[in-house]
Chains A and B, each alone.
Chain A
Amino acid sequence: MNIPEGLKYTKDHEWVKVEGNIGTVGVTDYAQGELGDIIYLDVTTVGNDVAMGDAFGTIEAVKTVSDMYAPVSGKIAEFNSAVNDNPAIVNQDPYGAGWMVKIEISNMGDLDSLLSPEEYKNLIGG
């Protein structure tokens, strides 16, 4: 299971990569594998302020639909147009081209409660 170093993880199987006050958010390799073929990302929250743990969108796979939760509080600054056009990118490259949103982090302290790669690995039994 691919769990890159340098990212923070959530119990909801999302990752966040922090550069300055911008957090880039996606789902983990484990999550995309569990979801199977992803067919649509429904994100209508660009420009909104969200609190840590709020649903910022939904992810539609062939067999199932699930919410995506903000790993940190802040403003949804951008939705990745590439995954909007071709959601399969999330399956193919979940930590790279398959990122979903960028969040302007309002409270850097939120990051402290997220999981390290090691802790996430333990969570999924990898």
Chain B
Amino acid sequence: MAKQTAFYDLHKAYNAKIVDFAGFEMPVQYDGIIAEHMAVRNSVGVFDVSHMGEFFVKGKDALAFIQKCTTNDASKLTPGKVQYSAMCYEDGGVVDDLLVYCYGEYFMLVVNASNIEKDFNWLQSNINGFDVELTNRSDDFSLLAVQGKNAIKTLQKLTDTELEPMKYYTFTEGKIAGVDTIISRTGYTGEGIGFELYIPSDKATSEKIWKEIFKAGEEFNIKPIGLGARDTLRLEAGYCLYGNDIDKTTNTIEAGLGWITKPKKGEFNGKAKVDSELANGSARKLAGFIVEGRLAARHGYEIYADGNRIGHVTSGSISPCLNKNIGLGYVETKYSTPGTKIKIKVRNDFIEAEVVKIPFVGKE
């Protein structure tokens, strides 16, 4: 039996199409993916991402434990800062990508819904020798992402916390519509302005906040956004999706996540693989590409060059902003340079594509 978030009845009231995603009944779309996508790019949209997992790591070895289990350097964090990171297995394969929230003495880890149980068990299996307490508080939080250029104008009506000065990847505790909220300037859309709001998961409180946000955003034509547009938005931004672009068979270096992989910080799970990838070069790289023509490249399609199969597509979709088909895929490293011509096998045809720099849309 799939779980429902506190917003389920509101999704139904907004005529959402509901799908089972990672064990939750989630809205995949309301008005239509393209309209929702453009609402976020042009104004502001609200995503229910309450299915994400929240773990807390407390105790005197909390930092050391996170340093062992994640690839980024959590010692650089100061209270109120957020860090994008990854957890790896010993062989360098990715367990999950995650956000690390620093409270000073303790940390909050935000993980993908589909990986909550796996991640928790993996962290538990690493806990020997560390004086830490790990708790899964995923059921305690509802999570709304409010993303787009009118997000500040919308939310500022509901809080005394000054939102404009908050830097990207910082958070603070405050009140939204009178409710205690973790206000985080983060997102998965590529929008420069966006917040993720962690609020109590009880239905009455969650629904109240949703309604207050929609009232505050009415003048900006605020819209609810489903998982479909969440995926097209993140792809335009060039962000990896766990299960598509990264998984236990990929390492962070070939995935282009070298910027969150800090081997100089000391030992961590998967470091040997990272070191060898950096020393020898990756055999393959995750590359962005734009397709010529109107057929979409999709997850699993094969990539060819010089008559040989050189990789496969991990994510592919129309880009509503570019009105072109875009995608990500692993290719042999020599074909990963922007400007390289590749071919993608779509059913019985080979379509032309060109490797490009990511992000596809937005800031460099």
Contact = CB atoms under 8 A, between A and B. Distances in A.
A60 B34 CA distance: 14
A63 B228 contact: yes
Contacts of B32: 36-37, 91
Contact of B317 (A33, A58, A62, A91): A62
A16 B5 CA distance: 41
B271 interface: no
A76 B355 CA distance: 37
B295 A62 contact: no
B334 interface: no
Interface string A58-82: 1010110100000000000000000
A42 interface: yes
A39 B34 CA distance: 10
Interface residues of B, number: 17
B358 interface: no
A41 to B, nearest CB: 9
Nearest to B347: A58
Contacts of B28: 36, 63
Q: Is the interface on chain A under 10, 10 to 19, 20 to 34, or 35 or more residues?
A: 10 to 19
Nearest to A60: B296
B294 A37 contact: no
Contacts of B34: 37, 62
A39 B294 contact: yes
B318 interface: yes
A36 B318 contact: no
Contacts of B318: 39, 60, 62
A62 B32 CA distance: 10
Interface of B: 17, 28-29, 32-35, 228, 231-232, 294-296, 298, 317-318, 347
18 contacts: A33-B17, A36-B17, A36-B28, A36-B32, A37-B32, A39-B294, A39-B296, A40-B294, A40-B295, A40-B296, A60-B294, A60-B318, A62-B317, A62-B318, A63-B28, A63-B228, A63-B231, A65-B298
